[in-house]
Amino acid sequence: GDSVTQMEGPVTLSEEAFLTINCTYTATGYPSLFWYVQYPGEGLQLLLKATKADDKGSNKGFEATYRKETTSFHLEKGSVQVSDSAVYFCALIPNQAGTALIFGKGTTLSVSS
Amino acid sequence: DGGITQSPKYLFRKEGQNVTLSCEQNLNHDAMYWYRQDPGQGLRLIYYSQIVNDFQKGDIAEGYSVSREKKESFPLTVTSAQKNPTAFYLCASSGTAMNTEAFFGQGTRLTVV
């Protein structure tokens, strides 16, 4: 079945460092891809999305590009802040009606000043 | 404000008791979902519903039940048959167009003692 694999954490960075969180997927057809963020004790918030190959999603300085050839959707940010500390989830939804989001296991990011 | 409301935020129950978690949305979304979150496990799908009076089992439906009598509401009952019910439960909703993202509530942390 369809699945998402993301790098295990925790990822620990200093403020202003470059961030990459790897995400790869397995799916038939052309799924849509998402990154969600979860702050402690809260629900998930959509960070960005891409719905077709070569699309780049971006928001709040974060970017991810839908790479069909490598089945990847890596999350990047050029300069992280302490406030970016959170858990990041990569997810996909199959390109068919009546399905639900499939999530990776999440990557914890900790940024220190 | 439009959104998804889960209540209560924290819930304690004795082992062997059934408990119902509430989820209400005013986003006029047709689809609603329940996920369970455990440390290091990511989000796992319990049940989802694409339309009133219809729902489907997700990957870990055993020990849970749901109803969808109204478009706005999708309560989850954790029954005594669920062997390890202590977890963080997240409700979400979305439109039914393909490739659309889901919006999440703030979650309910259930502790069974």
Alpha-carbon distance of B88 to B18, in angstroms, equals 16
Is pLDDT above 90 for B2?
Answer: no
Contact A93 B33 (CB under 8 A): no
Contact B42 A42 (CB under 8 A): no
| Residue A53 exposure: Cα atoms within 13 Å on the Cβ side | 7
Chain B CB within 8 Å of residue A68 CB:
no
The string of pLDDT tens digits covering residues B36-45 is 999 888 899 9
pLDDT band at B47 (very low <50, low <70, confident <90, very high): very high
- DSSP alpha helix (H) spans, chain B: none
> What pLDDT is stored for residue B1 in this prediction?
62
Tokens of A57: 């999603």
Residue with tokens 């455990």: B38
Alpha-carbon distance of B2 to A93, in angstroms, equals 23
Contact B42 A93 (CB under 8 A): no
| Residue A100 exposure: Cα atoms within 13 Å on the Cβ side | 25
Instruction: For residue B14, count CB atoms less than 10 angstroms from its CB and return exposed for 0-12, middle for 13-18, buried for 19 or more.
Output: exposed
Helix (H, G, I), strand (E, B) or coil at A82: helix
Is pLDDT above 80 for A74?
Answer: yes
> What pLDDT is stored for residue A8 in this prediction?
85
Percent of chain B with pLDDT over 90: 82
